[in-house]
Amino acid sequence: MADVKNLLIAVNSGVNHPYNQYAAYVVAFLAKKLANIENVSIYYGPEGVAVTRKGELAKLKIDNSLKELVAGQVAGLNASDLPDNLEQLARFEKNSLGIQIFSCGTFHVIDGIGKSLEDLSNLEDFIVPLKLPDAAKALLGADKIHYL
């Protein structure tokens, strides 16, 4: 993956597929920490925007057995370093690793998360809703796209 500078992880599944949500954040972490990919983004597509509603990622817990399982596979990672849920992990990845997290604002409106493209009241504050042209630029500008 040395030639990949822009990795986009497209999540097009909702809370009914929690493993896809976990995988998106684990792949993003590993892309930054192990593969040293410069720009890593997680994009919530049309079927995934429900996860961007406030509180949804926090419902996806990372219990001690899962922390041990994941940490045991990554050199230098301790189970105690891992957060308790995916919302906390997403915030860490965005703030500490520079991973971008965004979604399609159009589908926020269609799904009822917002009343307009500007209505962010029900959206997690760390997720940036994109208008269609910007979403297309992100998708078309990626060197590699990983779909979940």
Quote the pTM value. 0.93
- Among 96, 92, 18, 110, CA closest to 56: 18
**pLDDT tens sequence across 19-52:** 999 999 999 999 998 899 999 999 999 999 999 9
pLDDT greater than 70 at residue 1: no
Separation between Cα atoms, residue 145 and residue 139, nearest integer Å? 8
DSSP string, 63-89: -HHHHHHHHTTSTT--GGGS-SBHHHH
Q: Calculate mean pLDDT across residues 67-77.
A: 91
Domains of the chain, with CATH numbers? 6-147 (3.40.1260.10)
Mean pLDDT across the chain, nearest whole number?
Answer: 94
**pLDDT tens sequence across 96-147:** 999 999 999 999 999 999 999 999 999 999 999 999 999 999 999 999 999 9
